[in-house]
Chains A and B, each alone.
Chain A
Amino acid sequence: MTGIGAKITGLSLVLATLVFGFMLWGLRGPTGFILELRAIKLVSLICVGAAAGAATVLFQTVARNQLLTPGIVGFDALFVLIQTLLVAVLGGIGTAQLPAALRFALETGVLMLAASLLFGSLLRRDASDITRMILTGVIVGVLLRGLSSMVQRLLDPSEFSIVQQAMFASFGQVDAGQLVIAALTLLAAFALAMRLAPMLDVAALGRQTARGLGVPYDSLMLITLLIVAAMISISTALVGPITFLGLLCASLARLWLDTHRHAVLIPASALIGALTLVSGQFVFERLLHSESALAVVVEFFGGLLFLILVLRKAKT
């Protein structure tokens, strides 16, 4: 087995061990019920971690910048705006009464549609101008945040607290029905990404070189962005926005595995994402018996890493 193969196997084994620990540690009382709850939480942690990790590797290839995350183009802001509008239009009770599957489908659908429109129109106009696309994303993000903030001022305090809950990722309220749909869609997106992995290796050389080598660069980038949109939309709709988790995973995968190959980086980053969330939740829930928001801690360390990477790049 090669060094990279051994490392991926090692990651998988650690994740498998953590899965057992997460499910069985301190198990007492009505085991069937508790195991079901733990299984839902575990699968949602794995889905979200893997989606954030894999999507960030793909997004960084499209953007040709290893400091970026999909959150930068306004996904999180759009998610918060959707939540805000739902509460503003339907009211707090109306939003709560909305069937979970419908709400999930609505959120995912709107996020994917918006991402496709943004990327699709920008790519059609000038496929080589990724920088403009990202800058537009940043501006759109600011605009969406501004709109959310404006609508939030019109809400009464109880309704605002519902929106506020949605503004931070939470793994405690995932619906089992949503999770099945999300997991299957993520698996399909992941399989497609792995199929495209060798072509993405060539595409990483840039538009002209890749096209010169016969890679259909523009359509490949569009498909990859749609995969990213699907992964991030589903993960965000499932638990809420986590901006820096993906950056953490993709950076660690590149650093540890020392490769440019997408066939390695995509699964490795996905595994690291799942590992980070499962281990973090395990430590908080099982060992520290704390209900602290894992997402906040992940965001803290992810943000810290982002700063370190930016400062290191500035130095070099």
Chain B
Amino acid sequence: MIETSHLSFTIGDSQILRDVSLSILPGVVTGLIGPNGAGKSTLLHCLAGLTEPSSGHVRIDGQDPFTARDDDRARMVAFLQQSPTTVSRLRVEELVAFGRWPHHRGRPGPEDAEQVAKALDAFDLEELAGRPIETLSGGQKQRAFVAMTYAQDTPWILLDEPLNALDPRHARNLMARLATLANEEGRSIAVVLHDINAAARWADQIVAMKDGQVLAHGASRDVLTSDTLYACFDTPFDTVPHAGRKLVVAT
């Protein structure tokens, strides 16, 4: 479980996170939703142990990510930032292999090669394996980075807006793949999403944020109500039952 207690983060006079205390359950997909500037990405950075909060604590399965060694932390939690930058001449399989860095630290073995092959297969990247990253489309690039995060083989995977630049087919496939990772491999996934219907369809738990605070937190069906969504986005929404989940429509 990832737990935060009284987490706050301030830059200058701006308070980005205000007294955030929550528990993120293991083995499920948790969606973080909220308007721009709600503090979702900052919270994800804090959960990953990459941005130290101004006050409060984070514990990942009981461990403090800020006191853990860099490679220990990277074997505990994989993090993919929003719009990651690339390196020219870097090939897809090399990027995915970077995910194995915390395990081999520059000396890859057969197990690392297996994990890279598994990640390429899991995200339909085998045909693109030899292509330089800069020749890929935005969506293909995004998939390659998610595959790198998967190859890191950590119990926790935190993704900041991974559906950016993905077409509906690849967005659906990616979310389905993440749900499978949670259901079949027991991975714990927290993902920042702007598409509320993607959150409604694929997330088991939802954290709704606004102005640096957690507005609501719980099972998707409980959080995704017209009232909560209105309070979160200041926009009216209708929720329609669809295939056992909710469909959210802005009205």
Contact = CB atoms under 8 A, between A and B. Distances in A.
Interface stretch (A139-147, A204-212, A298-306): A204-212
Interface residues of A, number: 21
Contact of A214 (B74, B84, B87, B94): B74
Interface in A31-58: none
Given A202-B101, A205-B98, A212 B87 contact: no
Nearest to A258: B89
Interface in B75-109: 75, 78-81, 84-90, 94, 98-99, 101-102, 105-106
A111 to B, nearest CB: 30
Given A198-B106, A205-B85, A254-B89, A212 B78 contact: yes
B70 interface: yes
Interface centre among A199, A205, A213, A254 (most CB of B within 10 A): A213
Given A198-B106, A199-B106, A208-B81, A213 B87 contact: no
A222 interface: no
A216 B70 contact: yes
Interface string A238-280: 0000000000000000100011100000000000000000000
A213 B89 contact: no
Contacts of A206: 84-85
Contacts of A205: 84-87, 98
A209 B81 contact: yes
B142 interface: no
B102 A214 contact: yes
B50 interface: yes
Contacts, number: 62
Interface residues of B, number: 28
B144 to A, nearest CB: 12
A215 interface: yes
A213 B86 contact: no
B85 A209 contact: yes
A258 B135 CA distance: 14
B85 A211 contact: no
B98 A202 contact: yes
B20 interface: no
A211 B75 CA distance: 12
B1 to A, nearest CB: 20
A259 B89 contact: yes
B183 to A, nearest CB: 24
A5 to B, nearest CB: 17
Contact of B90 (A199, A213, A215, A260): A260
A213 B85 contact: no
B50 A213 contact: no
Contacts of B152: 213
A203 to B, nearest CB: 10
B6 to A, nearest CB: 24
A260 B88 contact: yes
Contact of A215 (B48, B70, B75, B80): B70
B224 to A, nearest CB: 29
B50 A211 contact: yes
Nearest to B133: A260
B227 interface: no
Nearest to B48: A212
A140 to B, nearest CB: 26
Contacts of B102: 213-214
A214 B89 contact: no
B71 interface: yes
A213 B84 contact: no
Contacts of A215: 70, 101
A208 B159 CA distance: 13
B154 to A, nearest CB: 10
Contacts of A216: 70
B73 interface: yes
A213 B81 CA distance: 12
A194 to B, nearest CB: 11
B87 A204 contact: yes
Given A205-B86, A206-B84, A208-B81, A213 B99 contact: yes
A66 to B, nearest CB: 8
Given A204-B87, A258-B89, A212 B106 contact: no
A177 B125 CA distance: 56
Q: Which A-B residue pairs are the 7 nearest by beta carbons?
A: A214-B74, A198-B106, A214-B102, A214-B71, A212-B79, A260-B89, A204-B87
Interface of A: 64, 66, 198-199, 201-202, 204-206, 208-209, 211-216, 254, 258-260
6 contacts: A64-B85, A199-B105, A202-B101, A209-B85, A212-B74, A214-B73
Interface of B: 45, 48, 50, 70-75, 78-81, 84-90, 94, 98-99, 101-102, 105-106, 152
